[in-house]
């Protein structure tokens, strides 16, 4: 979440890999907060965002204009440079979608980091203002993304959008005070959104592809305390049991919320301005965390937890494609 001061085509069908061991069942099986220590992976010294993992186990995260790739053996190199890269997801063909507020677009990049035709620059004929984060809907092959622009409590004009398989974009929710991190639950029946300026998580029923019902408050999150500078939920991720992991900006924490909306854990986030989270690793039990102060990519080892796999199944060369390819590729 970069705070102040700081088209047409065909989208590939997205498939969530099956989770065979949906655990932990409830909060009692989560690691104790005192047993979890952040491990620094890469330090940049500037504000980091948008962490994601690809099919080969490479991690990607953003800082300033740069997207850095970190190989499984820990080697970090510049993968791409855009304008202000943020939320980031990878598709079945290995191409990437990246929200870029400075470009007012959801960008589309190939596996080597070369820009292709943007996935979205407008919604219902109106220009996008500042796309922030996105989630893949495996049930429809579409994408939901947030566009907070400069919204806040006094000017709650942040929006949520749906990009369908043909890359036609529609506005599906308005009137939000900085909608930020976003995930969809398995089955595609509920969309969760962090409303940063109101320090809460919203839950929207999904009534159909790109159709949302009235939101409810899943949880009002804790306020800042001593040694903390803010309390704005930013990036979010799910584990296989449905628990939600919230990067809580300004609190140096990743907070875990049950499917019912109960606060279960407060894990140390490494960065004070914790910004984004993503599960990765061979057992999907490593939570990677971005943010600022100091400005680094951190890892939380969470034995017994299995993150929800959101990376679509990779297309097999020479095999049946999961969907048509865009005509401009």
Radius of gyration of the chain (CA): 18
Q: How far is CA 200 from CA 196, 231, 263, in A?
A: 7, 10, 12
Identify the burial level of 271 via C-beta atoms within 10 angstroms of its C-beta, where 0-12 means exposed, 13-18 middle and 19 or more buried.
Answer: buried
Q: Domain coordinates of the chain in residue numbers?
A: 27-301
pLDDT value at 19 more than 60: no
Class of domain 27-301: mainly beta
> Is residue 65 within 8 Å of residue 82, measured between CB atoms?
yes
| Position 193 pLDDT exceeds 60 | yes
pTM: 0.90
Q: Give strand pairing partners of 188.
A: none
Average pLDDT over residues 171-188: 97
pLDDT, tens digit (0-9, with 9 covering 90-100), for 230-251: 999 999 999 999 999 999 999 9
Q: pLDDT above 70 covers what percent of the chain? A: 88
Q: Which residues of 95-110 are buried (b: 16+ CB within 10 A; e: fewer)?
A: bbbbbbbebbbbbbbe
In sequence order, the 6+-apart residues with CB closer than 8 A to the CB of 189 are 205, 206
| pLDDT in the model for residue 28 | 73
């Amino acid at each position: 979440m970069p705070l102040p001061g700081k088209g047409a085509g065909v989208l590939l069908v997205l498939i969530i890999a099956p989770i065979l061991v949906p655990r932990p069942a409830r909060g009692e099986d989560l690691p104790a907060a005192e047993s979890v220590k952040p491990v620094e992976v890469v330090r940049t010294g500037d504000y980091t965002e948008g962490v994601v993992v690809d099919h080969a186990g490479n991690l990607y995260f953003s800082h300033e204009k740069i997207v850095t790739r970190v190989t499984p053996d820990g080697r970090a190199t510049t993968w791409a440079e855009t304008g202000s890269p943020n939320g980031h997801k990878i598709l079945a063909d290995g191409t990437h979608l990246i929200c870029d507020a400075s470009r007012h677009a959801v960008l589309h990049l190939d596996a080597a980091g070369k820009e292709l035709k943007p996935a979205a620059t407008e919604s219902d004929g109106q220009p996008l203002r500042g796309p922030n984060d996105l989630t893949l809907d495996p049930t429809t092959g579409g994408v939901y993304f947030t566009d907070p622009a400069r919204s806040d409590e006094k000017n709650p004009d942040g929006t949520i959008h749906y990009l369908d398989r043909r890359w036609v974009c529609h506005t599906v929710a308005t009137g939000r005070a900085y909608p930020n991190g976003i995930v969809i639950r398995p089955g595609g029946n509920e969309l969760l959104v962090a409303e940063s300026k109101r320090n809460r998580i919203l839950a929207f029923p999904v009534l159909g592809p790109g159709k949302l019902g009235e939101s409810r408050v899943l949880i009002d999150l804790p306020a800042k305390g001593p040694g903390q500078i803010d309390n704005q939920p930013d990036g979010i991720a799910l584990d296989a049991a449905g628990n939600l992991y919230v990067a809580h900006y300004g609190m140096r924490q990743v907070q875990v919320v049950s499917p019912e909306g109960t606060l279960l854990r407060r894990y140390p986030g490494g960065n004070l301005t914790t910004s984004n989270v993503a599960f990765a690793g061979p057992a999907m039990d490593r939570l990677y965390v971005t943010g600022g102060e100091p400005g680094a990519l951190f890892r939380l080892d969470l034995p017994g937890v299995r993150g929800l796999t959101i990376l679509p199944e990779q297309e097999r060369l020479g095999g049946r494609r999961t969907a048509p390819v865009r005509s401009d590729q």
